[in-house]
Amino acid sequence: MEKALTSCKNYKKEIISAPIFKVIEAIFELLTPFVMRYLVDEGINKVIIDSNDYWPIVIPCIIIFAFAIFGFGSTMVCQYLASFASEGFGKDLRTRIFKKIESFGLKEVEMLGHGNLVNILTNDVPKVQIVVSLTMRLLIRAPILVIGSLICAFFINWKIALIFLAIIPLVVFIYFLILKFSNRQFYKVQKQTDKISSKSNDSINGIRVIKAFNKEEEEINEYKILTSSYYKEVKKNAFLNGLINPLSLLIINIAIILVIYFSSNYVFSVTNNNFLITNGDVVALISYLNQILLALIVLCNLIVSFSKGFASNKRINELLNIEASIKNNIVDEKVDNNKNIPLIEFNDVAFSYENNEKYIVSDLNFKINKGESIGIIGGTGSGKTTIIKLMERFVDVSKGIVLYKGQNIKNYDLNLLHQEISLVNQKSVLFKGTIKDNLLMGNSNADINEINNALKDSDAYDFVYKYEDNIEHKVEEGGKNFSGGQKQRLSIARSLIKKSELLILDDSTSALDYLTDKKVRKNIKKIEKLATLIVSQRISTLRSCDKIIVLYHGTIVGIGKIDELLETCSVFKEIYESQVRSK
């Protein structure tokens, strides 16, 4: 079972060393009140007796200063080690999560949701990082200060130390109640945060629709309601968390009053001419009392951070332990396609996301030969995208078999498969960088001639070279500085540079005018030994295909050329007449 905290293994030395330096700092902190005790009881009295001798005061002050310097140095070393380990842990964990996400098939990605995956990387990982850092820096220090201060208090005066024993459980109980209600309130705040995030995403992504329907005011009012609810829940949570420090200070002051009150009964009591408790003892006891209660405040804040971190850790562990539905079966050698063997063959293929009898596609039987051009047409929900997912092995068949170069596609190396098949989606995706960066994703070794040929074949050459910096022109996030047609042509160019054996165009010329669409298809047709699968709703786009597959409700209802399908397939005839004869 994979765990998020496994990423700590590369930083064992730092994780072990950092608390040791924190323990050293705590020891210096525990010794300081003893020196102060001596300074008050012995040093000051000796100076009063001999006003020319200040060493009884100077030496304890030097010791206290030395403790402070050594404690500071130990703290700085601990802080450095904790920062180094926690940041390294976060880096390694993000890499593991990203690698895991990249190993998922579309089924897992769609099940988890894009927003959830991004939140795990950007929100959950930092919270677990904080837990790692705080564990190294503060988790061991606080108990040592509480226990050490209590022992030292008993060493000075066990009767006064009983006050400490009475106060510690009281403080712990109060903190427990605050944290109990605070955690409940925190979950309410998180739910409100999720609602606001969801509403923000919907409104920003759908801004055009909102403006088109004059719904700005309604959206604003709904957003106000959500933010008002969030504000109320945050106020409650802030009030509960705000009680920690004031209550702590109140208890500290009450305890100090009790210590001074009970100590005063001993300061002036004499037994055998010896004071039962001195002024220095009172100063030391108050110092230890402050150390105990401040350490408890730290523990309380640690628990708050840990509760959030553990929730995030649980989410990360669940993600890391999801089994990818698509597993790569690496073959020893690349398979050369024999001309007599189809490039891709579907035999009685059916697919269902839930692995039940309700298939999205079923009884699929067809072949794509090397160099052949195949078209797919069908209404919305007919299964066109699902066929592409099966070809690229983004999902696996529920029934039947998909053969690639004569062997089960499940037994073919995924890296080779995706190298030999190029896919251009209808919604073109460009990444932030330059045009050249995006094109070289298809083939990082492509030279300028190959890049220019691909741009010409995709009819993108002219508009790219209108820019002064041509292929070095910047691409903004999501390619938002390009039109839909430009993004589609650049995506096609990227796939052509790849020089694959099969090119899949998933309605990827829908943003192009008919003339440009025809020109691009004509250029692609000239590429030797390239098989193409064109998914389109346009009859005109599929005219040049060797054959067309017609889909209806997840099944194939016709395969052939346009003239054949007009005679034998009523579904195709209906589509044809709606596009051609109605003009």
Lowest mean per-residue pLDDT among 72-81, 110-119, 437-446, 567-576: 110-119
Give the model's pLDDT for residue 444.
85
How far is residue 140's CA from residue 26's CA, in Å, rounded to a whole number? 10
Give the model's pLDDT for residue 385.
87
Instruction: With a cut of 70, say whether residue 449 has pLDDT above it.
Output: yes
Residue pair 337/405 in contact (Cβ under 8 Å)? The answer is yes
Task: Give the pLDDT confidence of 276-301 residue by residue, as tens digits.
Answer: 677 788 888 888 888 887 887 787 77
Count the neighbouring beta carbons within 10 Å of the beta carbon of residue 570.
Answer: 13
CA angle, 141 then 16 then 295, to 5°: 10
Instruction: With a cut of 60, say whether residue 275 has pLDDT above it.
Output: no
Q: Can you tell me the mean pLDDT for 60-69?
A: 90
How far is residue 241's CA from residue 261's CA, in Å, rounded to a whole number? 31
Task: Give the pLDDT confidence of 104-158 residue by residue, as tens digits.
Answer: 877 777 777 776 777 788 888 888 899 898 888 888 888 888 888 888 888 888 8
Give the model's pLDDT for residue 581.
61
Please report, for the chain, how many H helices and E strands are present, in that order: 22, 14
Report which DSSP code applies to 383.
Answer: S
Count the neighbouring beta carbons within 10 Å of the beta carbon of residue 505.
Answer: 27
How far is residue 391's CA from residue 402's CA, in Å, rounded to a whole number? 8
Residue 32 or 380, more confident: 32
How many residues would you count in the chain? 583
Q: What percent of the chain has pLDDT over 90?
A: 11
Task: Give the pLDDT confidence of 478-528 residue by residue, as tens digits.
Answer: 788 888 888 889 988 998 898 888 999 888 877 778 888 888 888 888 888
Write down the mean pLDDT value for the chain: 83
Residue 534 or 42, more confident: 534
Instruction: With a cut of 70, say whether residue 270 has pLDDT above it.
Output: no
Give the model's pLDDT for residue 330.
67
Residue 270 or 308, more confident: 308
Give the model's pLDDT for residue 236.
81
- Helices 141-156 and 158-205: crossing angle, nearest 10°? 160
Contacts of 248 (CB under 8 A, 6+ apart): 171, 293, 294, 296, 297
Give the model's pLDDT for residue 21.
92
Instruction: With a cut of 60, say whether residue 273 has pLDDT above it.
Output: no
- Helices 279-320 and 141-156: crossing angle, nearest 10°? 160
How far is residue 267's CA from residue 277's CA, in Å, rounded to a whole number? 5
pTM of the model: 0.71
Contacts of 97 (CB under 8 A, 6+ apart): 120, 121, 125, 316, 319, 320
Residue 188 or 467, more confident: 467
Residue pair 509/541 in contact (Cβ under 8 Å)? The answer is yes
How far is residue 244's CA from residue 134's CA, in Å, rounded to a whole number? 19
Using pLDDT thresholds of 50, 70 and 90, give the confidence band for residue 336. low
Residue pair 139/23 in contact (Cβ under 8 Å)? The answer is no
Q: Which of 136, 168, 133 is nearest to 149 (CA)?
A: 168
Give the SS3 label for residue 322: coil
SS (H, E, C) 392-460: CCCCCCCEEEEEECCEEHHHCCHHHHHHHEEEECCCCCCCCEEHHHHHCCCCCCCCHHHHHHHHHHCCC
SS (H, E, C) 209-250: HHHHCCCHHHHHHHHHHHHHHHHHHHHHHHHHHHCHHHHHHH
Instruction: With a cut of 60, say whether residue 268 has pLDDT above it.
Output: no
How far is residue 454's CA from residue 445's CA, in Å, rounded to a whole number? 14
Q: Can you tell me the mean pLDDT for 306-326?
A: 82
Q: Which of 363, 382, 402, 351 is nearest to 551 (CA)?
A: 382
Task: Give the pLDDT confidence of 223-238 residue by residue, as tens digits.
Answer: 898 888 888 888 887 7
Instruction: With a cut of 50, say whether residue 531 has pLDDT above it.
Output: yes
Instruction: With a cut of 60, say whether residue 70 has pLDDT above it.
Output: yes
Task: Give the pLDDT confidence of 368-384 residue by residue, as tens digits.
Answer: 988 889 999 988 888 88
Q: How does strand 373-378 pair with strand 361-368?
A: unpaired
Using pLDDT thresholds of 50, 70 and 90, give the confidence band for residue 266. low
Q: What percent of the chain has pLDDT over 70?
A: 92
Give the SS3 label for residue 534: strand
* Rama region for 273: left / alpha / beta (φ>0; ψ in -120 to 50; rest): left
**DSSP letters of 467-505?**
STTGGG-EE-GGGTTS-HHHHHHHHHHHHHHTT-SEEEE
How far is residue 462's CA from residue 83's CA, in Å, rounded to a whole number? 52
Give the model's pLDDT for residue 94.
92
Using pLDDT thresholds of 50, 70 and 90, give the confidence band for residue 171. confident
Q: Which of 474, 534, 523, 469 is nearest to 496 (CA)?
A: 523
Give the model's pLDDT for residue 365.
92
How far is residue 181's CA from residue 304's CA, in Å, rounded to a whole number? 11
Domains of the chain: 4-320 (1.20.1560.10), 344-581 (3.40.50.300)
Q: Sign (positive/negative) of CA torsion 561, 566, 569, 572?
A: positive
Per-position b or e across 326-357, b if 16+ CB within 10 A of its CB: beeeeeeeeeebeeebbbbbbeebbbbeeeee
Instruction: With a cut of 90, say whether residue 347 has pLDDT above it.
Output: yes
Lowest mean per-residue pLDDT among 94-98, 237-241, 572-576: 237-241
Residue pair 501/531 in contact (Cβ under 8 Å)? The answer is yes
Output the six-digit token pair for 502: 């099969």
Residue 207 or 264, more confident: 207
Give the model's pLDDT for residue 538.
81
Give the model's pLDDT for residue 272.
42
Give the model's pLDDT for residue 66.
92
